[in-house]
Chain A
Amino acid sequence: MSETVYGPVTDWATDFDHGSPAYAANQHKIWDDLKNSGCPIAHTERYGGTWLPLTHEMVHSIAYDTDHFSSEGPVVGQLKPSEVPDRIGAPIGPVPPISSDPPFHNEARRLLLPAFSPKMIDPWRDEVIEICNKLIDDMGDADHIDAALQYSQHIPVMVIARMLGLPVEDGDKFRGWVNLVLSGIGEERTEERMQKFMEFNEYLAYHVTDHKENPREDLISFLLNAEIFGEKLSLEHAVGTVILLLIAGIDTTWSGIGSSLWHLATNSVDRRRLVENPDMIPTAVEEFLRAYAPVTMARVVKEDMEFHGVQMKKEDWVLLPFPAANRDDKQFANAHEVVIDREENRHAAFGLGIHRCLGSNLARLEMNVAVEVFLQRFPDFSVDANEMVTWSTGQVRGPRTLPFVVNARA
C-alpha cells in the first residue's frame, strides 16, 4: 500500500492522514495515544483542512447537528464539494440521501425505507444462505483458502445486484468501481482514474435506459417510477441513488463479514463457543460491528464555528469515526475487549441520527448468515502463517485478503 499524495504523517494530532496505510494499520493505538495526550479532536491541513473527533459524545453531537454540519461530502476528497465541477450541491448532493441535508433528506430517504425494512429484507435469508453455501462449494476441498477473495467480497455484491436488477456476473466490475470511489482518496487524479469513472457512468446509463424500456420488479425500476414532492425523481437523482446503493452496500458489508471471520480465525475460544452455540451468533455479530466497525463518515462545516474549544472553518471536513466512538470507554465497559456475549451494546456502526444506515437490516442479515454458514462448513480454521492478511485504507476498513488454513470441514 502506498502513501497518499501528502506523504508520511509527521504528527497525528496536527498532521493526521486517515487515508494513509499507517492509519489503517494502527488506528486503535493512534486514537488512544491522542486521547491520552489530551487531544480528543485532531486536525490536519491535508485534504484542505480536516478534523478527527474521537469521543462518542462528539461524534454523536456532530451526527445530530445537521444545522452546522452538512452531508454534502460524505467521503473526504482532495477537492472540497464546492471545487468539484458540475457537482449537485446541498441540500440534495450527488448521491441522495447520504449526501442530502434536511428537509430534502427526509423525503429522499422515506422513499427508500420500505424496500429495506425488516419485513422486506427477512425473506432474502434463504437466498443469502444459498449464495454462501455455493461460494464454499466452489472452494472444492482445498486446505488453503482466501475468505475475503473467495467468500466475503462476493456476498453483498451478489445480493445487491439481484435487488437492483443488474447482472450478477458483473461483480468484479462493481468492486473495481467501489474501490475507485472509496479507497483511492489520497491517490493522484490521473487520466486513468477519470477514464474509470466515465466507464462507471456509461455502464449505469446503459442499464437505466434498459430498465426504462423494459420495466421489471426491481429497485432500478422502482426508482425510475418513484416520486418526490409529487414529481418523478430526476434522472440524476435516480442514478445517484443507484450509485449509492452499489457503493454503500458492497465493501462495507464485505468488511464487516471479513473482520468477523478474521476475529474467529484468531480467537479459537470465541470460534468454538459459536460453533457449539450458533444461537449466540447474532449477539456476537453486534459485538464485531462495535469492535471492528467498518465505516467512518464525513461532514462539511457550513459556517465558521467553535466546537469544543477548536475553531472550525467553513468547508472544513469533519470525520465521523463511528469506529472510535465504539471504543470509547465512557460509553462501553471494557471498550477495547471483544466480548462476544456483551449484553449492553449501543454501538454506532450504522451511524447515529437521521442518516442511520438504510441497509442495516440487509447488512445484518448478510453478516449473520455469512458467519453462520462459514462456521457450519468450517468449524475449525486459522490464519495461514505464511501469508499476509491485508486491510483496506480509507473510510471503510476491513480485510481485503484473508488467507486461511481449513483445519476441519463439515
Chain B
Amino acid sequence: MRVHVDPAKCQGHNRCYALAPELFDVDDYGNAFELNDGVVPAGLEDKARLALANCPEFAISIEE
C-alpha cells in the first residue's frame, strides 16, 4: 500500500500527522508530506485509511 498527499490540496490541517506520524510528516509551514516515498509498512494499513478518512481537504490518496 502507498499513501500520497496532494500538495495542491493540502492546507495543513495536520490530521494525518497527528493520527499517523509513522506515515506523514509536516514541513516548517505545517504542510504535510508522506514519509518513505509513501510506502506503508505492513501493519499500518489501518492508520493510512484513518488518515485518509480524516483529511478535511480530501488531499490524501491511497494505492492498494
Q: Give residues in A with beta carbon < 8 Å to B.
A: 110, 113-114, 116-119, 282, 286, 343-348, 350, 352-354, 356, 360-361, 364
Q: Please indicate the chain A residues that have their CB under 8 angstroms from the CB of B28 in the complex.
A: 113-114, 117, 119
Q: Please indicate the chain A residues that have their CB under 8 angstroms from the CB of B56 in the complex.
A: 346-348, 350, 352
Q: Please indicate the chain B residues that have their CB under 8 angstroms from the CB of A343 in the complex.
A: 50, 53
Query: Which B residues between 1 and 46 are near A, CB-CB below 8 angstroms?
Result: 11-15, 17-18, 26-30
Cα distance, A286 to B15, chains bound together (Å): 10
Q: Are A361 and B30 within 8 A (Cβ)?
A: yes
Q: Please indicate the chain B residues that have their CB under 8 angstroms from the CB of A348 in the complex.
A: 56
Q: Please indicate the chain A residues that have their CB under 8 angstroms from the CB of B27 in the complex.
A: 117
Cα distance, A70 to B30, chains bound together (Å): 24
Q: Are B17 and A117 within 8 A (Cβ)?
A: no
Chain A, residue nearest B55 (CB): A346
Q: Please indicate the chain B residues that have their CB under 8 angstroms from the CB of A346 in the complex.
A: 53-56, 58
Q: Please indicate the chain A residues that have their CB under 8 angstroms from the CB of B30 in the complex.
A: 113-114, 116-118, 361
Cα distance, A344 to B52, chains bound together (Å): 9
Which label, helix, strand, loop or mixed, suits the secondary structure of the B interface?
A: loop
Instruction: Determine how close the nearest CB of chain B comes to the CB of A245; give it in whole angstroms.
Output: 16
Q: Are B53 and A356 within 8 A (Cβ)?
A: no
Cα distance, A52 to B42, chains bound together (Å): 46
Q: How many A-B residue pairs have CB under 8 A?
A: 55
Q: Are B53 and A119 within 8 A (Cβ)?
A: no
Q: Please indicate the chain B residues that have their CB under 8 angstroms from the CB of A119 in the complex.
A: 26, 28
Which label, helix, strand, loop or mixed, suits the secondary structure of the A interface?
A: helix
Instruction: Determine how close the nearest CB of chain B comes to the CB of A369; give it in whole angstroms.
Output: 14
Q: Which of A113, A343, A346, A348 has the most CB of B within 10 A?
A: A346
Instruction: Determine how close the nearest CB of chain A comes to the CB of B8; give it in whole angstroms.
Output: 11
Q: Are B57 and A352 within 8 A (Cβ)?
A: yes
Q: Please indicate the chain A residues that have their CB under 8 angstroms from the CB of B18 in the complex.
A: 118, 282, 364
Chain A, residue nearest B27 (CB): A117
Q: Are A356 and B13 within 8 A (Cβ)?
A: yes
Q: Are B26 and A118 within 8 A (Cβ)?
A: yes
Q: Which of A282, A286, A353 contacts B11 (CB 8 A)?
A: A353
Q: Please indicate the chain B residues that have their CB under 8 angstroms from the CB of A361 in the complex.
A: 14, 30
Instruction: Determine how close the nearest CB of chain B comes to the CB of A371; give it in whole angstroms.
Output: 15
Instruction: Determine how close the nearest CB of chain A comes to the CB of B21; give it in whole angstroms.
Output: 10
Cα distance, A117 to B31, chains bound together (Å): 8
Chain A, residue nearest B32 (CB): A118
Q: Please indicate the chain B residues that have their CB under 8 angstroms from the CB of A282 in the complex.
A: 18
Chain A, residue nearest B28 (CB): A114
Q: Are A118 and B53 within 8 A (Cβ)?
A: no
Cα distance, A116 to B58, chains bound together (Å): 22
Chain B, residue nearest A347 (CB): B56
Q: Please indicate the chain B residues that have their CB under 8 angstroms from the CB of A354 in the complex.
A: 11
Q: Which of A114, A116, A117, A364 has the most CB of B within 10 A?
A: A117
Instruction: Determine how close the nearest CB of chain A comes to the CB of B44; give it in whole angstroms.
Output: 16
